Amino acid sequence: MRKTRPMSFLLHASVAMIIGPIVALMVGLGAVIVFNNSPGINSVLNAGGAANPLLWGPGLILGLLVNRFTLKSAACWVWLAGMVWIACGVFVSVFSYHARFAGICSPLDSIRNGFFPYGSSDCGDHENLMLLTVPTLNSIAYSVGAWVALRFDVSSTSLP
């Protein structure tokens, strides 16, 4: 029984950190295509920066749906994998920071605007949002969804 926990955790982490961001990307691209890249849809997609529910919402829904059927407590700990993932990304970003190439941006500005952009800024590597922040946000949301699925399990209760 104990051998299945690490495998279960890896499967849930993969769904949260790989499938979740892919779904978020597909939803965003689909909205841009359907609404013909209008200024209105761009404002919706860019609203809130990294806190936009379109980025982390798929993780929440996947956590609810997947753990509703698997009912594994390991799924509630997927947020740890996301935190390790973004911590490694921040460490690499700080380690590779060089003032000569960053211009007027401080290391903190570079990290804040690269990982958690809000508005437009020239500081930071904006690829970090999709590569590091979105998988982390999806892992956190997945854990919340998995916890809700475990907490409100109705399959074990019988109906009168």
pLDDT at 159 over 50: no
Q: What are the extents of the domains in the chain?
A: 4-151
Phi, psi of 146 (to 5 degrees): -65, -40
- What pLDDT, on the 0 to 100 scale, is given for residue 140? 96
pLDDT tens by residue, 59-81: 999 999 999 888 888 999 999 99
Label residue 122 exposed, middle or buried (CB < 10 Å: 0-12, 13-18, 19+): exposed
Q: At what angle do helices 20-34 and 53-70 cross, to 10 degrees?
A: 130
Dihedral sign for Cα atoms in the order 129, 132, 135, 137: negative
pTM of the predicted model as reported, rounded to 2 decimal places:
0.83
> Is-contact 148 136, C-beta < 8 A?
no
